[in-house]
Amino acid sequence: MAARAYWQGQIRLALVSIPVEIFSATKSGATVSFKQIHEPSGKRIHYEKVVDGIGPVDADEIMKGFEYEKGEYVLLDQDEIEGVKLESKKTLELTSFVDAHEVDAIYYDKPYFVVPADDLAEEAFIVLREALRRTKKVGLGQLALRGREYVVSLKPCGRGLVLETLRYADEVNKAASYFRDIPDSKPDEDLLELATTLIDKKAGSFDASDFHDRYVDALKDLIERKRKAKGGKVVLDSDDDKPARGGSNVVDLMAALKKSLDKPGAAAAANAPAKAPAVKKAAAKKPAAKPAPARKRA
Beta-carbon count within 10 A of 292 CB: 17
Domain holding 200, by residue range, is 183-282
Note the residue count of the chain: 298
112 and 21 part of one domain? yes
Distance from C-alpha of 115 to C-alpha of 109, rounded to nearest angstrom: 20
Residues 208 and 235 in one domain: yes
Q: 28-45: b or e for each residue (b if 16 or more CB lie within 10 Å)?
A: eeeeeeeeeeeeeeeeee
Q: What pLDDT digit, counting tens, does each position of 195-214 carry?
A: 888 888 878 887 777 776 77
Q: What is the pTM of this model?
A: 0.65
Same domain, 226 and 265: yes
Sheet architecture: strand order including 108-116: 91-93, 7-13, 16-24, 108-116, 160-166, 148-157, 137-145, 96-99
**pLDDT attached to residue 217:** 77
Q: What does the alpha-carbon distance between residue 125 and residue 24 come to, in Å, rounded to a whole number?
A: 19
Domain's final residue, options 171, 197, 226: 171
The C-alpha angle 131, 132, 137, rounded to 5 degrees, equals: 135
pLDDT score recorded for residue 39: 84
197/156 same-domain check: no
DSSP string covering 236-272: PPPSTTSPPPSGGG---HHHHHHHHHHSTTTTS-TT-
The answer to whether the beta carbons of residues 18 and 116 sit under 8 Å apart is yes
Instruction: State how far the alpha carbon of 1 is from the alpha carbons of 29, 117, 169, 287, 298, in Å.
Output: 21, 18, 39, 60, 54
Residue 298 resides in a domain: no
Task: Report yes or no on 292 lying in a domain.
Answer: no
Q: Note whether 16 and 89 are same-domain residues.
A: yes
Closest CA to 97 of 20, 145, 156: 156
- Asked whether residue 43 is domain-assigned, the answer is no
Number of structural domains found in the chain: 2
Amino acid (1-letter code) at residue 73: Y
pLDDT at residue 270 in the model: 41
Burial class from Cβ neighbours inside 10 Å (0-12, 13-18, 19+) for residue 285 reads buried
The domain that contains 109 carries what CATH number?
2.40.290.10
pLDDT surpasses 50 at 179: yes
Within the chain, strands assigned E span 7-13, 16-24, 37-38, 43-44, 50-51, 55-56, 64-69, 72-76, 91-93, 96-99, 108-116, 137-145, 148-157, 160-166
**Span 218-267, pLDDT tens digits:** 777 777 877 777 766 777 766 555 554 544 344 587 788 777 777 765 44
Say if residue 194 is in the same domain as residue 260: yes
Phi, psi of 65 (to 5 degrees): -135, 140
Beta-bridge partners for 150: 143
Least confident of 135-139, 158-162, 212-216: 212-216
- The pLDDT assigned to 117 comes to 93
Count of other CB atoms within 10 angstroms of residue 277: 14
User: Does 104 fall in a domain?
Assistant: yes
* Whole-number Cα distances in Å, 93 to 9, 35, 102, 120, 158: 11, 44, 20, 19, 22
Distance CA 6, CA 9 (A): 10
The answer as to whether 290 is a domain residue is: no
Domain shared by 198 and 142, yes or no: no
Shared domain for 202 and 110, answered yes or no, is: no
The span from the CA of 94 to the CA of 127, in Å, is: 14
Specify if 99 maps to a domain: yes
Residues 162 and 98 in one domain: yes
Instruction: Decide if 145 is inside a domain.
Output: yes
| CA-only gyration radius of the chain, Å | 27
Is 153 found in the same domain as 14?
yes
| Averaged pLDDT of the chain | 80
Predicted confidence (pLDDT) per residue in 275-284, tens digit: 444 444 444 4
Helix (H) or strand (E) holding 134: helix 122-135
Q: What is the pLDDT of residues 43-80, one digit of tens each?
A: 999 888 899 888 889 888 888 898 989 989 898 888 88
Question: Is 146 part of a structural domain of the chain?
Answer: yes
Same domain? 164 vs 190: no
Of 272 and 219, more confident = 219
One domain for residues 152 and 197: no
